Amino acid sequence: MNVLKAGLPLIPLLLVGCASTAPLPEESEPVVSMMAERLELAHDVAWAKWADGLPVRDPAREAAVLGKLVRQGEAAGIEEALVSRFVRAQIEASCLEQEAWMAKWRKGDPLPPGEPPTLESLRTRIDHMSSLLLAEWAAAPTTPRPAARQRLLKSVADPRSATVAASGFFDADR
């Protein structure tokens, strides 16, 4: 079971608004779904790093990913500061998820069955998903952003909403 689904909080990074049962804004769904899909890979990344004895944090990798995606975002017409905030939120959420899984395994929770995927194959998938995520964000309509952002900031019923709010996806000034 995914640590997020089990209820372990990513509160310091992700909780931005007040609890509500407001639905996600319709125009955010493609980006939110892709963010959730990307975050779900954190379990396998944690498993691969655990098996290889690697730490969760990889500052060189994080800097390279950030630089590449900032360039892609700017080429797509998204302001550097917004792309940077967005990507940093994704990286931080993934790292927190990985740390939560590793903490469970240190406490004796069972590892997944079989062999872990390779970190290289996971990073290839994450890089591809991140590029698609930026393309989807760039293609998202800008007109409803302020209203959608307000609805989103009031909704934490779905953990993905808080992730989007922390990412800057609905910042009106992009």
Question: Residue ranges per domain, the chain?
Answer: 26-167
Q: At what angle do helices 80-106 and 119-139 cross, to 10 degrees?
A: 140
Q: Could you tell me the CA-to-CA distances from 115 to 44, 51, 110, 137 in Å, in that order?
A: 10, 9, 13, 34
Going by C-alpha positions, the residue among 20, 15, 11, 14 that lies closest to residue 154 is 20
pLDDT in tens, 47-69: 999 999 999 999 999 999 999 99
Tokens representing 135?
């393309």
* Residue 41, C-beta contacts closer than 8 angstroms, at least 6 positions apart: 94, 122, 125, 126, 129
Confidence band (pLDDT; 50, 70, 90) for 109? very high
Lowest mean pLDDT among 45-49, 79-83, 112-116, 161-165: 161-165
The type of residue at 81 is A
26-167, CATH topology level = Chorismate Mutase Domain, subunit A (1.20.59)
